[in-house]
Amino acid sequence: MKKIGFLVLVNLVFFNAVSQNLTVKDSIIIDTVQNIKFNYKQLIIPGILIGYGFWGIESGQIKSFNFQIREELTENIDRKVTIDDFSRYVPALSVYALNAFGVKGKNSMRDRSVILGTSLIIMTTTVFSLKSITHIERPDGSSDDSFPSGHTAVAFAGAEFLYQEYKDKSIWYGVAGYAVAAGTGIFRMYNNRHWLTDVAAGAGIGILSTKAAYWLNPYLTRKLFGTKESKSTSFISPIYDGKEFRVCFLKTF
């Protein structure tokens, strides 16, 4: 029964990439620079993931499940792998790589960069705040900032970014991005750095951060640039990887 629950949780992540391709009604239209659609149904998947993560903080049954998953994933580990330190960036970077190879996304370079920067700011602030409040010990006992998983949040924020930019081209871009993001989360558990609940919450936060960035983008674009598009754009965004802060500066022409 517990394994079934784990599979259902993983399937929710992949369902998010597929379900967003469907036309959804009951949306509220917000008029800004251009119309954007906020749909409460888009909150369901990230809400379930985040809720499961928080539930695990207090639930003895979920904590027991965390230990069971850790034992199954780490029992035959010979050495740790570091692929998750790099794979977390792959979905987001894929957007720029695809554009460089002539596969154009939904937004201009300026707008997609503002969206990504906004998503990273929301995600980083949320992850760091929760880590400083919850003080959950990591599975390997190295520190007490396990919840939520920052690596996973970055990966899923990028996966949602990739999906949103290319969902009109093919849903498989998004599916591929979510597969890489899910792999990042699994490796965080495999390396004994995070619990399943940390990874679930990180995934939900990452997805929701990017969704929020898209909802906010028309408003931010109007405030930052007016109605006229500039050929040059620059922004500074903080990145938190669970250990240290970094500042990312990006300038587009």
pLDDT at 39: 81
Span 12-27, average pLDDT = 46
Bridge partners (DSSP) listed for residue 246 = 239
Distance of alpha carbon 17 from alpha carbon 166, whole angstroms: 11
Residues 7, 12, 17, 18: what is their CA dihedral angle, to the nearest 10 degrees? Answer: 90
- pLDDT, one tens digit per residue, over 110-122 is 999 999 999 999 9
Residue 43 burial (CB < 10 Å; 0-12/13-18/19+)? middle
| Domain spans, the chain | 2-252
Close Cβ partners of 209 (under 8 Å, ≥ 6 residues apart): 119, 120, 122, 123, 126, 153, 157
Give me the sign of the Cα torsion angle 70, 186, 116, 46: negative
Q: What is the pLDDT of residue 226?
A: 75
The span from the CA of 57 to the CA of 134, in Å, is: 9
pLDDT value for 221: 85
Q: What is the pLDDT of residue 249?
A: 53
Three-state SS at 25: coil
Mean pLDDT of the 78-106 span:
93
Reported as type and span, the H/E element at residue 29 is strand 28-31
Rounded Cα–Cα distance for residues 135 and 19 (Å) = 34
Q: Are 251 and 117 in contact (CB under 8 A)?
A: no
Contact 213, 158 (CB under 8 A): no
- Looking at residue 2, its pLDDT comes to 45
pLDDT at 92 over 90: yes
pLDDT > 60? residue 31? no
The pLDDT value given to residue 24: 36
